Structure 1
Amino acid sequence: MYDIIVIGAGVVGTCVARELSKYQANVCVIDKADDVASGTSKANSGIVHAGYDCKPGTLMAKLNVRGNELLYQLAEELDFPIKKNGSLIVCTIESERGKLDVLLDQANANGVPDARIVERDELLEMEPNLTPNAVAALYVPTGGIICPFNLAIAMGENAAVNGVEFKFETEVKNIVKKDGYYELDTNKGVLETKAVVNAAGVYADVMHNMVSDKKMKIVARKGEYLLMDKELGDYFKATIFPLPGPMGKGVLTAPTIHGNMFVGPSATDIEDKEGVNTTQEIIDDLVQKASASHLTKDRLPMNKVITSFAGLRAHEEHHEFIVEEVADAPGFFDAAGIESPGLTSSPAIAEMLVGLIQDKYNFPKNENFIAKRKGIVHMEDLSMEEKNEMIKKNPQYGNIVCRCEMVTEGEIVDAINRPIGARSLDGVKRRTRQGMGRCQAGFCTPRTMEILSRELGIPMTEITKKGEGSNMLVGKIKED
């Protein structure tokens, strides 16, 4: 029997796992996907929100500001990329300028440091590619950009090194309350645990409602995005937001941590919790909203779009994080309704939730806890001297597999053989950026499959895109 099972291996689940690994507890993380960050965490804006737009006094405001502080610290400890590029919330209509003062007051009330109003001349000097319709903006220097995959991978790897078990492709079918423990019926058999952490994203209501008479409703709010080529990666330095609306922060334009640029997200509430398809109508609307009448000086060149994608946010009707032990289900802890700024807040959510768990169970400290983790070496980021040294040590680092992102065989091999390493093409992509460039894996997929086959000791026909049911090959044209 486990002490704690965490349901969900997204950014919240992996942050909880890492925080729990500081204690002597038998912890297991389960997820129905084949890897970490495969649900809500895989397709979002990758923004480190400062906390200016959360309603003062809410849990969301408190955890956003605390999470912002923690993320920059954790990036040092766990070696994942993050950049404090600042956020600009731009007003383009003079009559709406007063909304900036409201946001500034909220930022100050929430404890966001150094927020201020920037007037038009300074604003356009900071960001020359902004629309000339810009009136003023709220500037929040603690805003940043991050890769959600890298956060979940770093947290998950560090948790695994510290003793947390991970079970993937393990889907919860039912949860039964027993006398002092829970029985989880999964597609891989029955698991028993004294406590449960529900970090199941858009399915958090499904898990909660299995054990509680007080029902919860999570709506899947779909956001679609456009990802632009790295040629446009320096179009804006800061993350550029419009004034927020009733459905969220609006369509923003920002650089990514890896040097691309993106536009999005849209916001559409849907019934399908797996509905991550993109639509031409929404894509056209994104282009229009980021055009000269909105945020950018010039109409964005559509021939620089390398892909579009969609993600789902776990929207709870009261637009508030739910981080608590369920009143009528002792030992069952919810981390539900974790929508934006959930990515930023994730380490603070974990800190709070594990505090509640410790208050109840008082696990002894793990005196052997390892706080540091070293990420995958990316050859593209190294100097020529450093590259040559890496190749001398391991010639695989001299074999380029993905030409768009300059990813080498050595990086892919490392990604596969790390704690909770890649087991699919998407797993390799998340860890190395293989296949994320202009050709979108058009040229490098066969070679990556060969490396996966070799390192995992499985035939090519068993290589998948993202786990069971997504096999890339069905057989051979002719036998050897």
Structure 2
Amino acid sequence: MYDITIIGAGVVGASIARELSRYSIRICLIEKEEDVTTGASKANSGIVHGGYSAKYGTLKGELCGKGNRMYEQLNKELNFGFRRTGALVVGFSEEDKTKIRQLYENGLKLGSDDLEIIHKDRIKEIEPHISEEVTAALYSKSVGVTSPYEFTIALVENAIMNGVELKLETEVTSIEIKDEYFNIKTNNGNIDSKYVINAAGLYSDKIARMIEADNFKICPRRGQYILFGKDQGHLVNTVVFQVPTEKGKGILVTTTYHGNFMIGPNAEEIDDKDDVATTIESLENVIETARKSIKDFDIRRALTSFSGIRAVSSTGDFVIEESRVKGFINVAGIDSPGLTSAPAIALKVVDIVKASGLELREKPHFNPYRKPLIRIKDESFYGRIDDKEPERNIICRCEKITEAEIVDALHRGIPIKSIDAVKRRVRAGMGNCQGNFCRNRVAAIIARELKIPIDEVSVRGKKASAASLRADIKLIRKCSK
């Protein structure tokens, strides 16, 4: 019997699991996919938003600023990668100036003390490559960038270190309410738990419906991005937004935590929660709109495109509450600024659990620290391809990732056996060649370390189609010869 079972191992479920792992209770974190952070927590902008960005009087507004202020300490503890860049919300017209003033006033209500309305000369000092058409901007110094999937992975690794049990490839099929606990039926057996926290993202309404606790509906919204090489990163110093629309914060221009140039996302209402396709028409719109902010990026330097789907709630706000069913807590509709808010959401959930009656006693030996995976490569680093020393043996030449880093990633408590899972942890395959050089080398290390046939190593995990998986295996076999 678990005290708490958390459904969903995205950034929200991971944050809750890690926060609750401070206490002497038995916790289970379940995820239907083959790895953590495979949904919206993998495919988003990676922006840690400023306190101005959500409406005053909402849960989003309450939790965004609180979450933002937690990131520096979390990064000191978990070593996932975070840096403050600041952000500009740029405007091109008098109407835009009015919206910028409204954002500024909203931020003041929310307690933001880092905001400034600036004009062309000051904007040019901060962003020399900004479009000449930009006339005014809201400048927020607290905005930052992080690697969302590395953050989620770090949270789960630390939660496991502190006693949380993770069950992957475990999909909830039904939930039955017993006298003093819940019986959660899954494809991998039943789980009994006193409390259930529903952090199932796009499928949180489906989970809540299993016990008639669905006072909301999830409306999927897809956003498409284009990722460029690091050679375009000099074009932007901050995160550059345009004034938001009713559908969200609009097309942004930024660098990722690791220095890649990135533009997107658009916003598309869709019916299929699994439709993460990208389309030529949408990507052309992303390019055209991004050029309003920064004109001179070279589309020929694009490495890849991708999309993510946001779990937008029909309520228009986050849903974070104990439902009408005692012990069943909904944490749903966590769209933007969900990544920013996740640490503060976790604290709010802990308060809900306490108020519901579960005794939470702090562990005397809780360990908040998790060592980094990626080693910093400064001028003193010496490495080469096919070196016999794992610490110097370069596997991914684009990102200078070593054999030792990949081996470390495979033995951190989260069972992984796909090339993409390694890529999310150490960036092998994220460089200019997009894995063409290192894919076979990574596959060979996975097979060796996990003592599995190379046929069991897939590129993308079980989410890929059967035909795609067959092609992956064929490619791996070919490359391994």
Paired residue for 1:410?
Answer: 404
Name the residue aligned to 1:355. Answer: 351
Rate the CA distance shift 1:130–1:191 in 2: closer, same or farther, 3 A.
same
* Distance in 1, Cα, partners of 2:262 & 2:214: 40
Aligned to 1:83: 83
Q: Does 1:302 align with 2:299?
A: yes
The alignment's TM-score, normalised by the length of structure 1, stands at 0.94
Q: Which residue of 2 aligns with 1:445?
A: 439
Following superposition, the deviation at residue 80 of structure 1 comes to 1.6
Partner of 1:316: 313
Alpha-carbon distance in structure 1 between the residues aligned to 2:212 and 2:66: 30
Q: Deviation string for 1:426-477 (max 9, x for gaps)?
A: 1100000011111111121111100000000100011123434754326979
Aligned partners of 1:387 and 1:23: how far apart in 2? 43
1:467 aligns with one of 447, 458, 461: 461
Select which of 374, 377, 402 maps to 1:377: 374
Q: Which amino acid is 1:407 matched to?
A: I
SS in 1 for 2:391: helix
1:60-117 deviations in Å (ceiling 9; x for gaps): 1110000001112111111121010001000111343121111110111111122010
Deviations 1:303-353 (A, max 9, x none): 0110000001000122211111002x1111111000000000000000100
Alignment partners' CA distance in 2, 1:446 and 1:54: 44
**Which residue matches 2:449?**
455
SS in 2 for 1:430: helix
Q: Which of 300, 322, 325 lines up with 1:325 in the alignment?
A: 322
TM-score (norm 2): 0.94
In the alignment, residue 312 of structure 1 is paired with which amino acid?
I
Q: 1:373 offset after TM fit, Å?
A: 1.4
Answer yes or no: is the 8 Å Cα contact 2:127–2:237 preserved in 1. Answer: yes
Within a 5 Å distance, the mapping from 1:77-226 to structure 2 comes to: 77-212=77-212, 214-226=214-226
Q: Secondary structure, in 3 states, of the residue corresponding to 1:473?
A: helix
SS of 1:447's partner is helix
SS at match of 1:41: coil
Counterpart code for 2:433: C
Q: Which runs of 4+ in 1 moved over 4 A?
A: 474-477
SS of the counterpart of 1:211? coil
1:260 aligns with 2:260: yes
Alpha-carbon spacing, 1:384–1:126, altered in 2? closer, same or farther (3 Å): closer
**Equivalent residue pairs, number:** 469
Asked if 1:368 is matched to 2:365, the reply is yes
Residues 267-320 of structure 1 deviation map (CA, whole Å, 9 limit, x = unaligned): 0011111110100110111111112xx21133x321011000000100012221
Q: Check if 1:399 corresponds to 2:393.
A: yes
Identity across matched positions, percent: 41
Cα pair distance change 1:130/1:367, threshold 3 Å: same
CA contact (8 A) 1:162 1:370 kept: yes
- Give the 3-state SS of the residue equivalent to 1:55 in structure 2: coil
Alignment partners' CA distance in 2, 1:421 and 1:213: 32
Q: Specify whether residues 105 and 476 from structure 1 end up closer, same or farther in structure 2 by C-alpha distance, changes over 3 A only.
A: closer
Q: Distance in 2 between matches of 1:37 and 1:453?
A: 22
Give, in whole Å, the separation in 2 of the partners of 1:458 and 1:214: 42
Aligned to 1:431: 425
Report Cα offsets for 1:335-388 as digits up to 9, x if no partner. 10000000000000001001111222012211110111111132xx33343558
Unaligned runs of 5+ in 2: none
Q: Distance in 2 between matches of 1:252 and 1:425?
A: 29
Q: CA deviation at 1:172?
A: 0.8
CA root-mean-square deviation: 1.8
Counterpart in the other structure of 1:240: 240
